[in-house]
Amino acid sequence: MRIVIAGGHGQIALRLERLLAAAGHEPAGLIRTPEQADDLRAAGAEPVLLDLESASLEMVAAVLQGADAAVFAAGAGPGSSVERKDTVDRAAAVLLADAAERAGVRRHVVVSSMGADAGHQGDEVFDAYLRAKGEADDYVRSRKTLDWTILRPGILTNDAGTGLVRLEASTGRGPIPRDDVAAVIAELLETPATAGLTLELISGSTPVSVAVKAVAGN
């Protein structure tokens, strides 16, 4: 499969690109600056220079043309402003979904956040982030031509992955290594029967492939 990943230089995306390339897929990562290209090539991915904060729908759809799946793994990141929570975490996710529809790419996986909710209350930057992610998730879920899966990891860590997770509609809070998040995304892409699901993810006791198969078709 050719899989286009928004936020291609992110910590989860680089891990995912390595896994996809090792499995024989063709990952392509959207990046904001040329300096990030070598890291993607080292991960086995094709770097595509495209800034989702300034790109048009037609530009993004052109990049998605001929792809088998799209993954939204972009984020404004820690320390970013409320404004960028909106332009990246919400608007860029909406743009990628619209572009996938335009290009006829049905399979669509979104890396969201536990607690994402368009109606979340509060005035802090993190509150704005949870609202932005929630609004983006709601928008993606409303697209009838997308086979979407929304993945909401718990507290992200850089610990080595264990390959053991808990993946359910509701898990409760907990940590999850980025290694294991990437492994779950890769498995979701291979499992089209997970379309239409919003899933929470934390560390657990079930192997990734077993956990994904257990929720497929539910």
Cα–Cα distance measured from residue 127 to residue 93, given in angstroms and rounded to the nearest whole number: 18
* The residue to which tokens 């982030």 are assigned: 129
* The residue to which tokens 């997970």 are assigned: 194
Cα–Cα distance measured from residue 94 to residue 116, given in angstroms and rounded to the nearest whole number: 15
Q: Which residues are catalytic?
A: 129
Which DSSP string do the residues of the chain spell out, in sequence order? -EEEEETTTSHHHHHHHHHHHHTT-EEEEEESSGGGHHHHHHTT-EEEE--TTT--HHHHHHHHTT-SEEEE-----TT--HHHIIIIIIIIHHHHHHHHHHHT--EEEEE--TT--TT---SSHHHHHHHHHHHHHHHHHT-TT-EEEEEEE-EEE-SPP-SEEEEES---S-EEEHHHHHHHHHHHHT-GGGTTEEEEEEE-SEEHHHHHHHHTT-
